[in-house]
Amino acid sequence: MKIVHTSDWHIGRRWKGIQRFDELEAVLEHLAGFIEEQAIDLVLHTGDVFESRNPPAEAEQLVNRFMVRVGRTGARMLVIAGNHDDALRLDARSLLTEFVNVQILGRPRSASRGGTRVIETRCGEKAVVAALPFSSPGAWVSALDLAGEEASARIKYARMFERAVQDLCGGFQDDAVNLLMAHTHIEGALFGESERRVHISEDWAASPEALPSAASYIALGHIHRPQKVDAPVPAYYAGSLLQMDFGEAGEEKSFVVVTASPGQPATVEHVPYEGGLPLVDLRASLAELEEAADRYHTGWLRVTVPLTEKDPDLNRKVRELLPNALVVRAELPEVEEPPDVWLETGAPPVGHYANYHLRAHQHAAAVAVLDTFQDLYDQASGED
- Domain extent for 320: 279-331
User: At which of 236, 252, 272 does a domain end?
Assistant: 272
pLDDT of residue 103: 97
pLDDT of residue 191: 76
Closest CA to 341 of 358, 324, 318: 358
Within this chain, do residues 199 and 99 fall inside the same structural domain, yes or no? yes
**CB neighbour burial string for 72-90, b if at least 16 within 10 angstroms, e if fewer:** ebebbbbbbbbbbbbbebb
pLDDT of residue 37: 97
Residue 139 lies in a domain: yes
Largest CA distance in the chain: 101
Residues whose CB is less than 8 angstroms from the CB of residue 245 and which lie 6 or more positions away in sequence, other chains included: 15, 193, 194, 279
**CB neighbour burial string for 56-66, b if at least 16 within 10 angstroms, e if fewer:** beebbebbeeb
Within this chain, do residues 319 and 216 fall inside the same structural domain, yes or no? no
At position 296, the amino acid (one-letter code) is Y
Within this chain, do residues 153 and 296 fall inside the same structural domain, yes or no? no
CATH (domain of 101) = 3.60.21.10
Within this chain, do residues 206 and 292 fall inside the same structural domain, yes or no? no
Within this chain, do residues 151 and 288 fall inside the same structural domain, yes or no? no
Within this chain, do residues 91 and 122 fall inside the same structural domain, yes or no? yes
Within this chain, do residues 243 and 319 fall inside the same structural domain, yes or no? no
User: At which of 239, 255, 272 does a domain end?
Assistant: 272
Residue 261 lies in a domain: yes
Residue 340 lies in a domain: no
Count structural domains, the chain: 3
pLDDT of residue 203: 54
Within this chain, do residues 208 and 228 fall inside the same structural domain, yes or no? yes
Within this chain, do residues 128 and 267 fall inside the same structural domain, yes or no? yes
Give the number of other Cβ atoms within 10 Å of residue 305's Cβ.
21
For 207-258, the pLDDT digits (tens) are 899 999 999 999 999 999 999 999 999 999 999 999 999 989 989 999 999 9
Residue 267 sits at the vertex; the CA angle it makes with 242 and 98, to the nearest 5 degrees, is: 60
Residue 342 lies in a domain: no
Residue 153 lies in a domain: yes
Ranges in the chain, pLDDT < 70: 138, 140-151, 192-203, 335-344, 383-384
Within this chain, do residues 113 and 171 fall inside the same structural domain, yes or no? yes
Residue 337 lies in a domain: no
3-class secondary structure for the chain?
A: CEEEEECCCCECCEECCEECHHHHHHHHHHHHHHHHHCCCCEEEECCCCECCCCCCHHHHHHHHHHHHHHHHCCCEEEEECCCCCCHHHHHHHHHHHHHHCEEEECCCCCHHHCCEEEEECCCCCEEEEEEECCCCHHHHCCHHHHHHCHHHHHHHHHHHHHHHHHHHHCCCCCCCEEEEEEECCECCCCCCCCCCCCCCCCCCCECHHHCCCCCCEEEEECCCCCEECCCCCCEEECCCCCCCCHHHCCCCCEEEEEECCCCCCCEEEEEECCCCCCEEEEECCHHHHHHHHHHHCCCEEEEEEECCCCCCCHHHHHHHHCCCEEEEEEECCCCCCCCCCCCCCCCCHHHHHHHHHHHHHCCCCCHHHHHHHHHHHHHHHHCC
State the pairing for strand pair 267-272/254-259. Answer: antiparallel
Within this chain, do residues 21 and 70 fall inside the same structural domain, yes or no? yes
pLDDT of residue 141: 67
Within this chain, do residues 362 and 317 fall inside the same structural domain, yes or no? no
For 140-175, the pLDDT digits (tens) are 665 545 555 556 777 888 888 999 999 999 999 999
Closest CA to 351 of 342, 338, 360: 342
Residue 66 lies in a domain: yes
C-alpha 54/C-alpha 42 separation (Å) is 28
Residue 193 lies in a domain: yes
Q: Is 360 exposed, middle or buried (0-12, 13-18, 19+ CB in 10 A)?
A: exposed
C-alpha 105/C-alpha 92 separation (Å) is 9
Contact 226, 269 (CB under 8 A): no
pLDDT of residue 197: 42
